[in-house]
Chains A and B, each alone.
Chain A
Amino acid sequence: MKGMRAPASDLPIVFEDTSVRARDIAVLQRVSLVLGPGAPTVLLGPNGAGKTTLIRLAAKLAAPTAGRVTWGGKPDTDGNRIAVLFQRPVMLRRSAAANVAFGLSQRAAHDRRRRTTELLTQVGLAHVAERPARRLSGGEQQRLALARALAREPEVLFLDEPTASLDPAATKAVEDVVRAVASSGVKIVMATQNLGQARRLAGEIVFMLHGGVHEHAPAAQFFDAPQTSEAEAFLRGDLVV
C-alpha cells in the first residue's frame, strides 16, 4: 500500500490568536479555539458576537486580519471537505433535484441520479424533487440546502443559524436531519442564539460575546455551571449587550 494516502483531514480547525477587523471595527478579537472531531459544537451568543465571522474563517470564506487559522495542522485547505449551510441559503433557479445534483457534478450521470434521490429522501423532500426550488417553503428550502451541502460528503458541516426564520415544525425537521448527520460522523459546527436548540443539539458550547470567546466547555457543564457572569446572564435570558 506504499504510496497510497488517506484523504487529508481538515480537522482539527485551530484558531491561533485570530482577529478580524473591518473598517476599524473589531469583528473578532484574538480568538484561540480548537474545533476537533466529535460531538456537535454550538457557537452560542447574541447578534454581533462574531459567530458568523468565525464560521466564515473556518470555511475559508474570509481571511483573518491578524493571527492564523489551520486545518488539520496545515496553513491552507482546498475546502473540499467543508460545507456551509447559511441562514438564508440561495436556491438555484432549477428543480429541487437539480439543486442537489449541482453538488454532485463530479459523478457519473446514473450515480448522480441515485445519490440525488438518496439525499432528497434523507431530508424528507423526495416528493418535491421536481418542484422549482424557489417555490418551496422556507423550511423545505433549508432542508434542500442541507441535502445540497451533504452532496459534497463533507467532513465538517457549518450551519449558520439555520432555523432562525423557521417555525417549530420546520425547525424540528432541520434538527432531526442535523442530528442524523452528526451521528453519521460528520463534524457539526452550528451558530445559534437559541438556547433551547443549543441544549438539544450541542455536545460542546463555544459562548461568544463582542467578537471574543468567553467560554468553551462541554454542553452539560456550560448549562449547569457557567464560568462567566455574561454566560450566566445569557442563560437566565437577560439581555446581554
Chain B
Amino acid sequence: MFEPALKSCQKTHVYDSASAFGLLLSGDPVLYGIVRLSLAVSLSATIIAAIVALPLGAALALTRFPGRAAIIVVLNASMGLPPVVVGLVVYLLLSRSGPLGFLGILFTPQAMALAQALLVSPIIAALTRQTVEDVWSEYRDELTAMRVRPMRRVTTLIWDARFSLITALLAGFGRAAAEVGTVIIVGGNIEGFTRVMTTAIALETSKGDLPLALGLGVVLIALIIVINALAWSVRRFGELRAG
C-alpha cells in the first residue's frame, strides 16, 4: 500500500542528492556564505574556550585544595551540558535587561561564538585536566628536583602534552560545529547574518528544501573529517619531530 509513495520518495531523494552536489560544485554563494560563517563562529568559540580552559584544566591538574574533587565532578558533568540550556542562559545574560545587555550583541555571530565557547569550555578543560594530570605524574619528580616554579610547570606540561591537547581542542571544535540548540537561541538564524550550517539544515529540512540541507550536511561532515585529518597529521608530524 505504501510502495508507490516509497518509490516516489526514493526518486525525490536521489534527485535531492544530485541537486545538493550541484550546489556544492557550482560554488553556490548562499551555501558557501553559510559555511564561512559557521567556520568563523566555531573556530572563534574554540579559540576563546582554549584560552580559558587550557590553563584552567592544567591548574586543576596540578593543585590540591578542599573541594577539588567536587569541581572535577561538576566539570566532567558539564561536558554533557544541554546546548539549549546554555543558549537560554547566554540569551538571558545578553538580552536587553540582562547583566551583559549593554554589549548589544544578542542575535549576532559574536553572541553565537560566546555561547559555543561556554558550551565547549568544560570539554576542553576536563580533557586538559586529565591529560596534564597524566603527564604530571610522569614529570613530577623531575620538575620538582629541578625546582621549576609553578607557572613554568603549567606551561611546560601544556607544551609537552601539546599533541594530546590537540585532541581536546578537536573535541571542542567538533561539539561547537555540530551543535544547533545554542546558536539558534542566541543567533536567531537570521539569513545572511547568523545562519550557520546546523541551523540552516534544520530550517531547510523543515521547509522541504532538501538539496541545500543535504549539501550543507555533506560540507559539515567533510569539514569535520578534513580538520580531524589535519590535526592527526600535525600530531603525527610533531611526534616524529619531538619524540
Contacts and interface: CB of A to CB of B under 8 A. Distances in A.
Interface of A: 59, 61, 78-80, 82-84, 86, 89-95, 102-103, 105, 132-135, 148, 152
Interface of B is mostly: helix
30 contacts: A59-B145, A61-B141, A79-B147, A82-B145, A83-B145, A84-B141, A84-B145, A86-B145, A89-B142, A90-B138, A90-B139, A92-B156, A92-B160, A93-B162, A93-B163, A93-B243, A94-B242, A95-B242, A102-B146, A102-B156, A103-B146, A132-B241, A132-B242, A132-B243, A133-B243, A134-B242, A134-B243, A148-B146, A152-B146, A152-B147
B10 interface: no
A78 B138 contact: no
Interface string B151-187: 0100010011011000000000000000000000000
Interface of B: 138-139, 141-142, 144-147, 152, 156, 159-160, 162-163, 241-243
A93 B144 contact: no
Contact of B243 (A61, A79, A105, A135): A135
Contacts of B147: 78-80, 152
Contact of B160 (A93, A105, A135): A93
Contacts of A95: 242
Contacts of A80: 147
A78 B147 CA distance: 8
A118 to B, nearest CB: 19
A102 B243 CA distance: 16
Contacts of A82: 145
A152 B160 CA distance: 21
A129 B159 CA distance: 20
